[in-house]
Structures are given as C-alpha cells and as structure tokens.
Structure 1
Amino acid sequence: MNGNLVIIRLGIAFLSMLMFTMCNTGDNVHSYEAETAERASGVSENIDKEASGGTTVELMNKGQFVCFRNLPTADKIAIRYATENVGVFSLSVDSQPGLKVNIHSSGSFEGSFLYAVVDVNIPRNGSVTLSVEEGDVALCIDKILVGKGDFGLPPDIWNLPKLEVAKGPFVADWDSLSNYYSAPDWWREAKFGAWSHWDPQSMPEYGDWYARNMYIEGHWQYNYHVEHFGHPSEYGYKDICNDWVIDKWNPEELMKLYMDMGARYFMAMGGHHDNFDCYDSKYQPWNSVRVGPKMDIIGIWEKVARSHKMRFGIGFHSSPPRTWGQFMTVRYTADRDGDKAGVPYDAMQTILDGKGKWWEGMDPADLYGPEHDVMDPLLSPFANQFMWRVDDAITKYHPDMIYFDESAGDSYLDLGVNMGLGFLAPPLIANYYNKSMTWNNGKLDVVFNAKGVGGRYNSFPNNPALIPIVERAMVKSTEFYIESEIMAYPFQTERSLSDWHYKKGAPYAQADEVIWGLMENVSRNGSLLLNIPQHGRGDVDEEAVRICHDIGAWLKINGEAVYGSRPFEVWGDHQVLFTRNGGYVYATLLNWNDSAITLKALHSGGTTVGDVTEVVMLGSDIPFTFTQNADGLMVKPSGEVLPLAGIENASLSSRYRVLRISHTKGWMNDDDPGVTATGWKRYCNLNSGDYNNDLTVSERVGDVWSCSFEGKGFDIIAPKEQGAGSMEILIDGNSHSIVDLSTVGERLPQRVVCQVANLAPGKHTLSIINRKGKVAVDALCFR
C-alpha cells in the first residue's frame, strides 16, 4: 500500500480489536463486515437495508480496495456483493499472486446480493484484499466469510477450482489413455442401444435446438414461440423449463419397449446445449429436481435400467463450444423490428427481477450465462463448471458409458465457434476411467464417446497422427454418418427415428431403414444408438412403438448376425452386408427378391472362408442350394420363402434376410470375443493375405495378448516378415516356447508359428507376450 492510501482506524485499541473480531457463524466459518475493514482513500460506505450490517463498501474506481486483516487459517472465502455489472474483480492474500473472481449482476448496487465463493489458502493472521484493478468492474462489498469446509452456501459455479483427475492408472494424456484402454466386452457384444434424447426442449414439441432458435428473430421456431407462448423477453426458456410437465413419462414401460426393440444399452439425456441438467445437479441449480418436473430424471432412468440389467449411459451435450459459444450468445440480444424492437430477451434479467416470481432466488445467468461473445469457450469459467458437472453426475450415477455431443479435438468452426473438447478431453476421460474402476472393483468396464475423430467432421486436422491414438483411447462417435469402411477400432453412430427433440408431424424413419443402418454399422465394426423421440410429457407415438416392435422382431430372428459379431474381411456392398460370429459368416441381404444371389466375396480359395458346407436362411426352413467357385458363392432357395412372422413392415419381413454360412475355416480371429490385447494396435483392410484382412500388432516389449479356450490344442497363425520380433507363448501361466516371427525374403501371411497339442481337457488360458520388436497375432485354430 502506498502513502496515498488512508487507513481508517479507531482511536481506542479495544474498539479496533472489536472491529476485526470475527462474528462466528459456525465452528469453521467466520464473518467480517466490509465496513470494519481497512480501505483505500476515497472508498465510501453506502447505506443498504438489505446488507447484513446495514451498509456496504463501494469499490467503484481503479485502485480502490478493502483489506481484511488478522484472519484465521482458512481454505475458502465467500464474498457477498452487489453490482449491476458482469465481469471480475481482484482478490489477493498477503503477498501471494492475485486472482480474478468472476461475478454476475445482482441487478443493482443495493438491495440485491450474490455470493462469490473461492478456494484460497489464508494463513493464520493473514490478510485478504479485495480491489478493483484494470479491467475490473465496480461493485459493493457487504461482507466476507472465511473458514473451512461447508459454508452452508450453494457452490459458486463460476469460481470453481480446477477439477483434479481422480487417482488411478490413467493420466490425462492421449498416449497414456490409448496404451491402457480397450473397449469392454459388453460394448463389443451389444451393437445396438436406445436413446432418450429428452429434456425441456421437448415441451414445445417443435423440434431440436428450440432453446437457441427461439431467440433468433424471424426463425420458424421463434415465430412459433411468439405465437404459442409469448415474446422471449416475457416468456423465455427458463419458463419452458418450469412448465415442463412429464405426467405421461413411464420409464418402466419405455425400458421394456427398448428391450423389446432389441437394444442392449440405454442412454439418457443428462443435459443438452440448453444448459439445463436433468438430474440432481450440484453445480447447476437449473435442474429437473429444482425446476419443472421436480424429479431426478437421470436417477430414475438409472434405477430402471439397472433393474432390467440394461447397461446405462448419460449424454452430456452442454459442452463449452455448443452451450457457451452457440446457445448462450444469441440470448443477449433483442428484436430489431416490431413492437418489441430493442427490448432485451429474458437472458438479460437478473436475480433481482425474480423477486415475487416463481424463480425468486435463482440467477438467470446460471442458466443463460453472463453476457459474453463466442470467443475461447474452452477458456471460459463455464468450461471448468462443465468439468465439475460431469464429475458430479458420474460420481452420483456410476454410468457404464458417457457420451459427448462434441468433438474430441478442437480444430474446426461451426456457426463461428471453434468446436471441440480440446484440452478438456484427456482429463475428462482419465477422471472417468479412474473413478469407474473404484465402483467396478478395479475393472475398467466403461465407454467414453466423443465425436470428430477423423472422418467428415475431423477435429484433428492439424495433428492427424493423433487420430489412431484417440481411436484407441475411447470409442469415437458420429451423428447419422456411417463410416465408409471397416474400422480398426469400434465406433458408434447415433441417429433418431425422427427429429432429435420431438416435433409434431415430423416423419419417422421406418424399421427397414433402421435395420439397414444398423447392419451397415455392425459390418464395419460399429454400433448404432437410436433415439425414439418422446413427447414433452414423456410418452411416445404409437407409430414409434410399432417401428420399435418391428425392429425387435427382426432382431429376435436374426440377432446372431448382430450381437457379439465382428466384421468380415470386407463389409459388403449395397446388396449384402457381411459379419462373422462363432465361426460362421453371415450375409445380410438388402432388398432381396426371393431369387438366386451370388456372393462374390465368398469365392473359393479366399483368405478367410474355406469350403462352404451349409447355407441356411434364418427364420426359414426352406433349404438353399449353393455352388462355390472362383467367381463366388451362388445361393438359391429350393422353394418359396415366406416373410418373417410378427413384422408389420413388409419390406423388412421379406426383403431383409440373413444367410448363415458354415465353412471349413472357422478360425478365431485376433480380436474375436474373449480376446484382451490392451496396448496392442489394430490394423484392418490390409489386403496382404492375412486372415480376415486384419491384424493385432504390438511394438512394445511386454504387451500381452490373451484369450481363454476349451480344447486339447491349437495353432497360432501369424505373419512372418523381415525385421519382425519374437513373442513368448504361455499356457495357463506357464511358458511354452519363444516364437521368432522374422524371415528372409518376402512376407509370409497366415503362417502356423506355434502348434500345441495334448492339453488336458477343460478350460485353458493362452497368453502371447511381446519379447522383442514388432510382433503380430492373426488367428487361432483350435483342436
């Protein structure tokens, strides 16, 4: 402090001590009135009957401050303030570097207050200075609370500390994540999930992105809103949230529908871009427990899903770019034309405007954000809040998967906003994986979905080398777009039967279209997550129910081509899609016309299929004749094939049929069910003569590939090539041999590199350990 600063003192030592004596509000929390603090010259008091001591201290100009001295040891401070501004002020402890505290408008410099709560380390007899520096906003200080533990205040969601990654084996680094993660067995087996893409935006029943577009003058959703609810300056999105009634929501009935549809996992909407949380959110007061339904929607979904032994997931759409950058920023405007021209939309309201209304005591800025531009959403205070909200949900509900409607990278623009999770992604993933292991008894058994990993909306254009690493570190996801080729690592595609949020009169995709998309995904190593749109009140249309029943009826007959399957060496074409399962090859026929068909990929002498021994059409007892030669497998029914029973969709029941093909080369592929190969890399579409056109490869000594099997022996199939390394073979934990995969001359695919016979009957475990250089596993042939 310089000589120009006047320190206010009392002449009597006793009164001086009294002024700085704490008013104890609890065992660990102590209160100090601002008018008792030291202050800079020119800092005045303001009479305010709503202030705890009847007055506040005004910090209006740069350089003004108040200083609280002789404080007890504390790790938290709460500042009660009033302001008409949005921005920051400065806080420093003793001589430590200062920090900026985020504040919102309380609506006035007097009569209305908010708390800023900040984690700080205050030593015994330490001092705290609150000041207005360059770029800070003016405010009035009522009092401070200092202490430890819970202050009895809600979390200040705009001043949260950095979220630390939970302790565990995963660290917030893409390389580390990819080296130790692999998609769990349940995910690889499931293939098909149901999604409840349902939140307050469903209430108007007028389509997706309603919470944004209702604030864009002239937009068709804005026009609808004005006509049916009123102008957004008077009836805004917060009012839709409050008026969201879900009296027709029957989660038990819907879960049975999803299961009848054939779904093996379920995703619920945790929060959309609108910034409303559909659960008992600690860090977002605008949530379904406090506003609108007054129900913990995610908590209810979770219990119902678990009761049906359905894998449960939560979708998080309220990412910083989407919410802070795109949905919030259009709300700080007003009409340009008409009777309401220049009248601010309701996002500009403050906590003071809520007095006497249904939302009294709630800050609209917590839902709409403070006024800001679209720049740097990942550096906003909202970004850290987002991290805590995700952590809160996973801690409460232990989801088997979490989904982000956001890219994993950070390198493309959408509506002028730089999209992606960017540097937030690795800590989000590491925190989730580590926490999940605590509730899964040390087992990593969860899935993290994010978008933009390669493909059409690639978010890594500036660092393409990261793409295969990120593909191993999580399960990438795409919206509607299906990967064009077989992918080395499993992925997910999301689609909806109709609009993402329910829209009256919108057409539905029919069951045959859904099955086509499902099989396209599965044939390329993917899964399909399907949204069944719900009315605002929670029920679904009868047409949607019928479509779900048709999908389920088809899967009950043909599910062996789907659940637990893996891609074949080629995915197929627009007439047939291939999968493998249990040693069989499955051919899903598209638009089959009850006649002969030639499957060129199943020609004799192929790298994966041996001699075909039987062809059966699932759901039919009509025998099929076949001929296999160098041109393919020619298949023909010996009589009329009747449509599948129990399916209303005529195209699906008669034209979408599945052939199960038995052959003599039913080996176990290198990534078939039961295989674990953490840290190994997958390669597909190799066209180099390897079984199923793919390999699992290790370039790190110590990597372990393993599987369990029953049999008396096996052959290990692997390529041999120049410069290859060696691997150790263990059977039931005992070393059997060291195999050298190097050779001289040309590469030799599908070599039998190890043979084991005369094992005792029963179950065994095979482990293959990289002992030197680069090694690969192609397939196993059991005896």
Structure 2
Amino acid sequence: MKRRTLIKGALTGLSSLYLSRLAGQGLLDQSHSVAGPFQPNWDSLAQYQVPNWFRDAKFGLWAHWSPQCQPERGDWYARGMYQEGSDQYKYHCEKYGHPSKFGFKDVINEWKAENWNPEELVALYKKAGAKYFVALANHHDNFDLFDSKYQSWNSTKIGPKKDLIGGWAKAAKHQGLPFGVSVHAAHTWSWMETAQRSDKNGPLAGVPYDGKTIKADGAGKWWNGYDPQELYAQNHPLSTNSLDNGMIHKQWNWGNGVTPPSKAYCEKFYNRMVELIDKYEPELMYFDDTALPLWPASDVGLKIAAHLYNSSIKKHRKLRAVINGKILDEQQRKTMVWDIERGQSNQIESFPWQTDTCIGDWHYDRRLYDNNRYKTAKTVIHTLADVVSKNGNLLLNIPVRGDGSIDEKERAVVENIAAWMQINSEAIYSTRPWVTFGEGPAMELAAPLSAQGFNEGKGKPFTSSDIRYTTKGKMLYAIMLGWPADQGALLKKLGATNGIGKINKVNLLGYHDQLVFQQTEAGLKVELPGQAPGKDAFVLKIEGAII
C-alpha cells in the first residue's frame, strides 16, 4: 500500500504539453456527472466544509484487505513477488512457483475469503469505539473488490466470487456506522512494472514474468476469457530506471521519468470510481495519492471529487462526504481532509485531519503474529489521544487474514481498546482542541513529518508526565498517558497564573469519589486514588477553567 521513502518532484518529467492535453480536453463521459455546486477544479472544491459527523467521530477502523493478504507475507506483495531476490520473491517461488508460471493473477484465484463474516467484524469494531468503518475497494494491484462492469478482474467473478464492498457496506449500515472506501489503484500503471521483468540469474534467467501476458495466452487455463492486461496494465514502455526498485517512490507524483498513463487508463479509472460512488454510496473516500488520483497527469481525480460531493448533497440534502488525500498544499487542504500516514502532526491543525496507521503491516503478515509484533492497545490509545488533541481523527487498520478472519492476538488488541473506551470515550468523541494540545517531555523531542507522514514511533515514548488536552462544551479533559508513581498529578498548563480561571471540580473518569486538588502557580496538583481505574491512559475531567 504505502511508500516508505521521501517522494519528491511532483511535476518533473511530465511535459507541459502532455499535461494540458490530458487535463482539460473532455476525455470522459460526462453523462456520469451529478449537477451541484462543486465543479472539477481546485477553486470550486475549496468551498468544502468538513462535515460534523467526521469531526465528532475521532476514531475509525479499517479493513485493508485484498488478495495480497492471501500469501500472508506482508504489504506490497503483488509488486515484491516480482523483485528477484527479495523476501517475497523467494517466498513466492517456494509456496507457489516461479512468477513466470504462477503470477499474481493466480494468487487472486487462490483467494477464497472463506471465513469472512463482515457483520461480526464490524459489530466488534463498533464495540471497540469506532465511529466509522472503511474497507479497501482496490489496491495498487488493480483488483476491484466490488461488482464492477468496467473491471472484469473483480471479486464477484474471480477469487472469492463475492461482492466484498457490498458486504462491508451492508454490515456498516446495519451497525449505524458511516461507511468509507479506500482506493489505491491509480498507481497500478507504474507500480506493477516489476511484473514485466525476468530473472537475471538462475535456470529461468531471461524467461519473462507474466506481466505481459495477454488474453490469447489463457486458452485451456483457468483464466480463459480474461485479459491479464486488464489487471496488470503493462502494455506500455517501462518508466525511467524502472529496474531500480526505489524509483516508484520518486515517481509517485507522476514525474521524474514515469511513463505517462494513457487516456484509456485514466478514463477507465474514472468510470470505476464513479460506479463505486453511485452503487455503494460511501460517505468517505480515502485516496492513497498525493492530493487526488492521477493528479497532475490527469484531471479525473478532480472530476471524481466533484461527483462525490455533489452526489452526497443530492442524497442527504447536505454535504456529508469526506475525501482523504496526502501531501496537500495550502489550497488543497481546503478541499478535503489531509491524511498523514503512520505519523502525527506536531501542532494543532486549523483544519480537521486524519492519521492512518495499522497495528501490524498493511497487508496481513503471519510473521508479526508469530513474533508478537503487533502494536499494543496502549500504543493505539496514546496515538488516539495525541491525534485528537491536535484536531485530528485516527483511522486504524486491523489486518485481515486471507480467509477473511482476524487472529486472536489482533482481537485482544481490539477488545482492550473497547475496554478503555467504555470508561474514557467522553474525552474523545465530539471534542475539540484546547488552546494547547498538551504538555510533557515527549513534546520536546517530537519527530518531524516526512512526505506522507512516517514519524510514528520516532519521538520520545510517552510517560505519565505527558498530558493531552481536549474540550467539550464547558469541560476540559486532561488525558494522562501514564499513571504517576507517587499518586499525584501535576498539570503545569493549569497553574493559577496562566489566566485560565479558578478550577471548581476535578473528577477521574472511572473513579466515583471526589478528588482533592490544589491550583498553584506551579500548576494543578491532583491527588489520585491508590489504584488506577483501568490502564494505559487516564482522564481528568475538569470544570471551571476558561476554555
């Protein structure tokens, strides 16, 4: 799913002639368009206002699940299995055979999702405190997980032979949760170029992988009648330095020598996305792109955004839709919700934003289960408190196994989040930032963002001296990211000389007796009970401060 290195040079390598030819020439069938106030340009999209449901939700859960989970060997499998010598290549050869004989299309055929129970999983996620649910609609592998008339390679026809997005959407509706989809397939064009390679060493050196396979090659095979090029989209010249596995990161913004996507490729992506919007009516679309899909090589992303917003207004009589995009400039942050991948902002943001992260790898990796390497509920809760204090939401992926289930260690993490939320959720939902997001030593050593984010876990670990603040109405919440060893808390930002007024009452969520406190020049001193109510993080509910 994700890029792990810095992405630079948004426009480098794309000629202005090519951009103008693609971006404003009426390439698409405008019969799809829904009339409304939003037009497909940045100035018009800047009318956008983030809906209150999203601002109040704060916490969403995500099923980043696709056929790349079937091997249970981690993220970007469909690309890595074609990188000679890589871990995923070696694993693939041992498990399935050489990629010239058993390609990613064949992995899809192995995927059956036989133990998938969306109703049970979404109910569990609601219990854990999720206020919205997001399901992956397609990944960079280009396989649609919904019933698409524009993409034959979809989950209703191949692999599970189920409408996975339809099932997730039904479960979310039944649980009363806004439903979102994540879309990643705009990048198949360059991401799958590894499938055009062949081994440089060994007995099969020079034998092409299946990236150039065509429909006629399917005679007598399981995929007879299907065109692998509709999936791989690799009937085009390789991008500059394509054999360098790291080039995909530098070319993510459709520059630096990437082979420009064809008109047909852009049109097809647009049609698939409009179909996804019209058929499943998502209230959130997460795009794994800089700004919008295919921008600036094409304007189809702008058209998709305008269609989603106008469709939302038509259905709800007001705008409920949310778009998540990455690496946004100042103007673009007015048009959608900025998403930070595996990281957090280091300040209160003026516009609502979102962190997306995962308790493991984005696609299921059995090794993380075997070696007990999942994030703990404590880490998730601390991240949630930090993000919410800065005007953000947290979207958390729970990796799904190939069969459609989650393992018992993941389930335990979800259950522990649920237990914390049962006590402390009022400090999260429907809150807004205070004048400062917090205090404590972790603030001083916070790591800066890099490209999409990727500063997660790089700063100083949180301690009981780290506090995160949220507000709701006349209440101020102080979330302590640990339990003080001396049974006393000191909130320096709430000192008597800080201009916040006289504090009248302090309660500890989950503890029913009154707390003794003293407001001094040094801060608000609170005597805590001998035993903590719960674990991981603890919330003081404060009345009387000027907020």
Give the TM-score normalised by structure 1: 0.59
Give the equivalent residue in structure 2 for 1:349: 213
**Any idea what SS the aligned residue of 2:188 has?**
helix
Amino acid at match of 1:316: V
Gaps in structure 1 of 5+ consecutive residues: 1-99, 101-119, 121-158, 411-417, 454-466, 645-652, 667-783
Report the structure, 1 or 2, having the larger helix content: 2
* Cα deviation digits, residues 160-203 of structure 1 (max 9, x gap): 6578643111112222222x211111111110001000010000
* Cα deviation digits, residues 687-708 of structure 1 (max 9, x gap): xxxxxxxxxxxxxxxxxxxxxx
Structure 2 residue 40 is matched with structure 1 residue 172: yes
8 Å CA contact 1:272–1:317 kept in 2: the answer is yes
Q: Offset of 1:643 from its aligned partner?
A: 3.8
Give the equivalent residue in structure 1 for 2:475: 584
8 Å CA contact 2:133–2:177 kept in 1: the answer is yes
Count of equivalent residues: 474
**Any idea what SS the aligned residue of 2:137 has?**
strand
Structure 2 residue 341 is matched with structure 1 residue 450: no
Give the equivalent residue in structure 1 for 2:9: none
Q: Take 1:570 and 1:576, find their aligned partners in 2: how far apart are those partners?
A: 11
Give the equivalent residue in structure 2 for 1:204: 71
* Cα deviation digits, residues 102-136 of structure 1 (max 9, x gap): xxxxxxxxxxxxxxxxxx9xxxxxxxxxxxxxxxx
**Any idea what SS the aligned residue of 1:505 has?**
helix
8 Å CA contact 1:405–1:451 kept in 2: the answer is yes
Q: Offset of 1:590 from its aligned partner?
A: 1.1
- Identify the match of residue 271 of structure 2 among 376, 388, 395: 388
Q: How does 1:389-408 map to 2 (within 5 A)?
A: 389-408=272-291
* Cα deviation digits, residues 614-666 of structure 1 (max 9, x gap): 111101134322222333212222x413442xxxxxxxx1x511100001535
* Cα deviation digits, residues 541-571 of structure 1 (max 9, x gap): 1111111011011011100100000011111
Structure 2 residue 188 is matched with structure 1 residue 323: yes
Q: Take 1:353 and 1:422, find their aligned partners in 2: how far apart are those partners?
A: 32
Residues 664 and 369 of structure 1, relative CA distance in 2, 3 Å threshold:
closer
Give the equivalent residue in structure 1 for 2:306: 430
Q: How does 1:225-624 map to 2 (within 5 A)?
A: 225-319=92-186, 322-326=187-191, 328-372=192-236, 373-374=238-239, 375-378=258-261, 380-408=263-291, 423-440=299-316, 442-453=317-328, 467-506=329-368, 507-573=373-439, 574=442, 575-594=466-485, 595-604=487-496, 606=498, 609-624=500-515
Residues 420 and 596 of structure 1, relative CA distance in 2, 3 Å threshold:
farther
Give the TM-score normalised by structure 2: 0.83
- Identify the match of residue 657 of structure 1 among 531, 535, 538: 538
Q: Take 2:189 and 2:513, find their aligned partners in 1: how far apart are those partners?
A: 59
Q: How does 1:109-148 map to 2 (within 5 A)?
A: none
Q: Take 1:208 and 1:409, find their aligned partners in 2: how far apart are those partners?
A: 22
Q: Take 2:436 and 2:262, find their aligned partners in 1: how far apart are those partners?
A: 44
Give the equivalent residue in structure 2 for 1:216: 83
* Cα deviation digits, residues 413-442 of structure 1 (max 9, x gap): xxxxx98787443322111101122222x2
Q: Offset of 1:378 from its aligned partner?
A: 5.0
Amino acid at match of 1:371: N
Q: How does 1:694-733 map to 2 (within 5 A)?
A: none
Amino acid at match of 2:285: I
**Any idea what SS the aligned residue of 1:660 has?**
strand
Q: Offset of 1:407 from its aligned partner?
A: 1.1
Q: Take 2:390 and 2:136, find their aligned partners in 1: how far apart are those partners?
A: 27
Q: Offset of 1:495 from its aligned partner?
A: 0.7
Gaps in structure 2 of 5+ consecutive residues: 1-20, 240-257, 443-465
Q: Take 2:307 and 2:295, find their aligned partners in 1: how far apart are those partners?
A: 22
Residues 378 and 568 of structure 1, relative CA distance in 2, 3 Å threshold:
farther
Q: Take 1:420 and 1:339, find their aligned partners in 2: how far apart are those partners?
A: 43
8 Å CA contact 2:270–2:301 kept in 1: the answer is no
Q: Take 2:532 and 2:382, find their aligned partners in 1: how far apart are those partners?
A: 20
8 Å CA contact 1:163–1:387 kept in 2: the answer is no
Give the equivalent residue in structure 1 for 2:447: none
Amino acid at match of 1:265: Y
* Cα deviation digits, residues 510-530 of structure 1 (max 9, x gap): 000000011111000000011
Q: Take 1:277 and 1:237, find their aligned partners in 2: how far apart are those partners?
A: 14
Give the equivalent residue in structure 2 for 1:634: 525
Q: Take 1:664 and 1:587, find their aligned partners in 2: how far apart are those partners?
A: 12
* Cα deviation digits, residues 448-500 of structure 1 (max 9, x gap): 111112xxxxxxxxxxxxx3332121111011110110000100111111111
* Cα deviation digits, residues 194-223 of structure 1 (max 9, x gap): 100001000001100000010111111000
**Any idea what SS the aligned residue of 1:569 has?**
coil
Q: Take 2:232 and 2:394, find their aligned partners in 1: how far apart are those partners?
A: 33
8 Å CA contact 2:193–2:211 kept in 1: the answer is no
Residues 377 and 196 of structure 1, relative CA distance in 2, 3 Å threshold:
farther
Q: Offset of 1:342 from its aligned partner?
A: 1.0
8 Å CA contact 2:188–2:233 kept in 1: the answer is no
8 Å CA contact 1:589–1:657 kept in 2: the answer is yes
Q: Offset of 1:306 from its aligned partner?
A: 0.2
Q: Offset of 1:370 from its aligned partner?
A: 3.1
Q: Take 1:256 and 1:505, find their aligned partners in 2: how far apart are those partners?
A: 27
**Any idea what SS the aligned residue of 1:567 has?**
coil
Report the structure, 1 or 2, having the larger strand content: 1
8 Å CA contact 2:32–2:274 kept in 1: the answer is no
Q: Take 2:297 and 2:427, find their aligned partners in 1: how far apart are those partners?
A: 35
Q: Take 2:292 and 2:304, find their aligned partners in 1: how far apart are those partners?
A: 13
Q: Take 2:353 and 2:428, find their aligned partners in 1: how far apart are those partners?
A: 15
RMSD: 2.1
* Cα deviation digits, residues 220-245 of structure 1 (max 9, x gap): 10000000000111111111111101
Does 1 or 2 have the higher relative contact order (CA < 8 Å, sep 6+)?
2
Q: Take 2:260 and 2:495, find their aligned partners in 1: how far apart are those partners?
A: 54
**Any idea what SS the aligned residue of 2:206 has?**
coil
Q: How does 1:47-58 map to 2 (within 5 A)?
A: none
Q: Offset of 1:256 from its aligned partner?
A: 1.3
8 Å CA contact 2:266–2:298 kept in 1: the answer is no
8 Å CA contact 1:406–1:421 kept in 2: the answer is no
8 Å CA contact 2:295–2:301 kept in 1: the answer is no
Q: Take 2:341 and 2:428, find their aligned partners in 1: how far apart are those partners?
A: 20
* Percent identity of paired positions between Structure 1 and Structure 2: 41
Q: Offset of 1:323 from its aligned partner?
A: 1.4
**Any idea what SS the aligned residue of 1:262 has?**
coil
Residues 365 and 536 of structure 1, relative CA distance in 2, 3 Å threshold:
same
